[in-house]
Each structure stands twice: as C-alpha cells, then as structure tokens.
Structure 1
Amino acid sequence: MPEAASGSAAAAGAICAPLLALAGVHTHIGPYHILHGVDLAVPRGGLTVLLGRNGAGKTTALRTIMGLWRASAGRIDFDGRPIAALPTSDIARAGIAYVPETMGIFSDLTVRENLVLAARQGAMDADRLRWLFGLFPAIERFWQLPAGTLSGGQKQMLSIARAIIEPRQLILVDEPTKGLAPAIIANMVAAFRELKATDTTILLVEQNFLVARALGDNVAVMEDGRIVHAGAMAELAEDRSLQQRLLGLSLDMHQ
C-alpha cells in the first residue's frame, strides 16, 4: 500500500475529488504482468510527478490510462467517469492528451502540418498559437520545415505543442527531458511552469530528479508495478532517507 500523504495533501483530497483516479489497476502485455494493482490519484490542477526506477511500470501506467494498453483489472476514472473500456480516440476527446517518450511526431510533415493534424477539425486558434510560439519559439522559427529536420529538443517541443494545441484537462507526459541539453531542459521547465498556471493538470514521468523537484506539486513513486509512496513533492525533496529508500539515491546528488 502507498505510504500516507502529508496532512495538507490528505485534507485537500477530502475537499476535491481527483481529476484522475486509478484503483487496483492491473495490466498484462502478452504473457507479462506489468501493473500489479496500481492505486493512483491525480489532483485537479498542478503537476504530479510519477517517479521510479527503470522498469517500474511508469510508461505502462500512462499507456494504460490512454487506452493504448488495456487494463486487465481495476478501475480508471477521469473527471468522475470510468474510461478503462473506452477506445483511445474517445479518451482523447474527453480531454486527455499524451506525449510519449518517442514523441510521436510525423517526420515527413512540416511543423505546421503536425499541429494542424492535432487541432480539432484542422483549425488552429490564433491566440492559442501565439501563446505556443511564446512557450516554444523554435516552433514558429521552423514553421514550414519538415519535422524530421528538427533537433531532438525541438522535436520534443513540437510533441508537447501538439498535445496542447487545444486546451486539455489532463496532459500525460513521458520523460520529456531525456537526452536533452541543459539549455533545452531549462526552456522545457519554463514552459511547464507556464502550463501549470493554466487550468491544465499534468501527470509527468521524469527521470531527471532536479526537474521533478522544480516542477512537482505532488509525487507518486512506483516500484514493481505498484505505487509505494504518494504525497507532496516538497516532503520527498526534503527527506533524504526517504529518497534513498524509495529511489536508491538522494536528490542532492543532482544539484
């Protein structure tokens, strides 16, 4: 069972139902049993970080929420509605966007065409687009270039821009800073901070613990396909022994 959250987080949860809730979720991929009864609550607003060692089941959890892999048992509720049996297209229409670790962009299409495909009915709101250009200036600079010609960091920016070209209630993001240069990571952190200031809720899988601490309001830690800790990010960031026990290292190593 997960460790108890801090008193303030528990009190907040009693007042406001989570936007996303997983209860006893199991996922099998072929003969492999990956998720073993995941219980996870993502509060409305702010950013929840999903941490864990490689192979803990973090990506499987995101893909299961999105319906790309089917839960074999358990319940997934989004905004009070069960979604575990819905097709991925309906889950997306309900207000969830997914940014995979592989980015999922169309390399042969231009930056503009990638965003047009992600917009409802192919129509991009001009104000929203200007806002995106402010978050990721490279999107505007390379507007007419094939997405495949962008750098790794620029492709990641495009992938996130595709997810938020339309307002979404929840964004699932899988390791957005993996392999990126420090300057690009700093730009990514700034963009997520601005996104947090909107009504968008974010569930972020992240291996860069400095980024996790900078952005996270809440945190859940996975181990062997289960949530073994949930609470405030500030609590984990301040407790070196808890970091060592849950993650096998201290966040201080990444300062």
Structure 2
Amino acid sequence: MREAPDSLLSLSGVHTHIGEYHILQGVDLEVPRGGITVLLGRNGAGKTTTLRTIMGLWKASQGRVVFAGQDIAGKATPDIARRGIAYVPESMAVFSDLTVRENLHLAAISGPMDTARLEWIFGFFPALKKFWNYPAGNLSGGQKQMVAIARAIVEQRQLLLVDEPTKGLAPAIVQNLIEAFRQVKENSTTILLVEQNFNFVRQLGDTVAVMDDGRIVHTGTMAELAADDALQQRLLGLSLAAHQ
C-alpha cells in the first residue's frame, strides 16, 4: 500500500512480534495530515502495540512505517521523536523524582519553554501551575496524566500519539482536554488517538480505524461510525449511544 498524498503517517503491512507472540499481523493504516484519527478495538486487538511500533519502542518485524515521506521503521525512538512525533503512553509515564516544571523542561527539546504556550497549557490543566514545583511522583494519577499530556504538547509537534488520555481524569478536565486537542489540531498538529471513552472520541475524531486480532478491519469517518449502531455492534460489540 502506497502512502496517500494527504497522509502524514502510513503503515503498510506492519507485523510486530513480542517474544513468541505475533501481535500485529499486517497493519495497513493511513493517518490524514492535520486531522484526528481514532484507533478503536476490543482489548488486546493491538492498538497500544501499533502506537509503540510507530514510536520505535517495539520494532516492526515486517512492513513500512512512513512518516512525512520517510520510512522510520527500525529507527531509534529518540530519532523518531526528533522528527516531530510525541507519544503519551497509557502508563502516565513521568519522571517521579523531578518536579512538574523539570518534566516539561526535559520535553522541550528545541530549547527553553515558551511562556505563552505554558500559560495556554495551564488554562486546560490549572493543577499543573499549582503543583509546578512539586515532585511529579507525589501527584495523583489524574494529575500525572495531565503532566504526561502537557509534556507532549509543550512544543509544537507534527504528530501526537496518545494512548487512553482520559484515564483518571475528572469529567471537567476531560472537557478541557477535548478543547486542548481541538486547538492542537487547529495549529497543524496531527493526532492518532487510542481511547475507550466513546463520548470523548466521537466529539474529536475526524477519521476512525478499527482493529481486531492485529489487523485493521474497518476505516471511515467518525461521524459515519457514530451514526451506525449496527456497525458499532459488529465491530466493537457495543453501541456508542450507551456511552454518552
């Protein structure tokens, strides 16, 4: 499969093995430039493995991962990050012994943090300003998730890979996150999002891909999937209407 002209990221026939387990079994995925693509699927379908393979944390055993016209399969994770890709893992990865400020400072790979951008982030996550000089390890799970997301958006990126961002967040902060991601997209950042909160993704997603058993089994617009209960039941075994 060739990269579509409007795709920032393209996976073609990607296989990933983790030990003896064959997790990704020929993933074909197009992520349109400047949009939010939602990756859905049942637990164990391969969604997190897809993000980690793109980021180089797990190596593709076969296939191509093309980002901005360059094949990045097999590249080291730091090299992939320097190309303009940020990753927010499900595990809320933060440096526990460092302060919130130090966590964001390390993520600002291009230089000193921009004050205006920090104030923009604080508008969505006011707790980060309150706990700016606190060790990140002392924060609650939801606050650590805010730090992880802020690390990814502290600078302008070409692509964000985000895994389960709403986990542990209060409903009011989830609404802030929706607006944050919308503004990130408006500033020409493409987002590939894995999330189980269907009300969240239906408000954000432009396009959607559904995984099952290590393969993409459906692609289309989020609006089409959200409007088709029968398709949701067939692909996901549930109705999005039940999660509003």
* TM score, norm. by length of structure 1: 0.91
Q: How does 1:233-248 map to 2 (within 5 A)?
A: 233-248=222-237
| Residue number in structure 2 paired with 1:197 | 186
Structure 2: give runs of 5+ residues left out of the alignment. Answer: none
CA distance in 2, matches of 1:89, 1:176: 22
Q: 1:166 aligns with which of 155, 159, 180?
A: 155
CA distance in 2, matches of 1:208, 1:227: 20
Deviations 1:191-215 (A, max 9, x none): 2222222111000000111111011
1:143 aligns with 2:132: yes
| Residue number in structure 1 paired with 2:51 | 62
Letter in 1 for 2:142: G
Shift of 1:71: 0.2
Shift of 1:122: 5.2
Q: 1:215 aligns with which of 204, 215, 225?
A: 204
- Contact conserved, 1:21 with 1:40, CA < 8 A, in 2? yes
Shift of 1:180: 3.0
State the aligned residue count: 243
Deviations 1:60-92 (A, max 9, x none): 000000000000000000001100021101100
2:211 is paired with a residue whose SS is strand
CA RMSD of aligned residues (A): 1.6
| Residue number in structure 2 paired with 1:250 | 239
Q: 1:182 aligns with which of 153, 171, 177?
A: 171
Deviations 1:78-117 (A, max 9, x none): 0011000211011000010000001110111110011111
Letter in 2 for 1:209: F
What is the aligned-residue identity percentage?
71
Q: How does 1:1-255 map to 2 (within 5 A)?
A: 16-120=5-109, 123-255=112-244
CA distance in 1, matches of 2:130, 2:187: 25
CA distance in 2, matches of 1:133, 1:76: 34
* TM score, norm. by length of structure 2: 0.95
Shift of 1:190: 2.2
Deviates more, 1:224-233 or 1:120-129: 120-129
Letter in 2 for 1:135: F
Which of structure 1's runs of 4+ aligned residues deviate more than 6 A? none
- Contact conserved, 2:125 with 2:173, CA < 8 A, in 1? no
- Contact conserved, 1:153 with 1:184, CA < 8 A, in 2? no
1:92 is paired with a residue whose SS is helix
- Contact conserved, 1:67 with 1:86, CA < 8 A, in 2? yes
1:74 is paired with a residue whose SS is strand
- Contact conserved, 1:136 with 1:191, CA < 8 A, in 2? no
Letter in 2 for 1:22: L
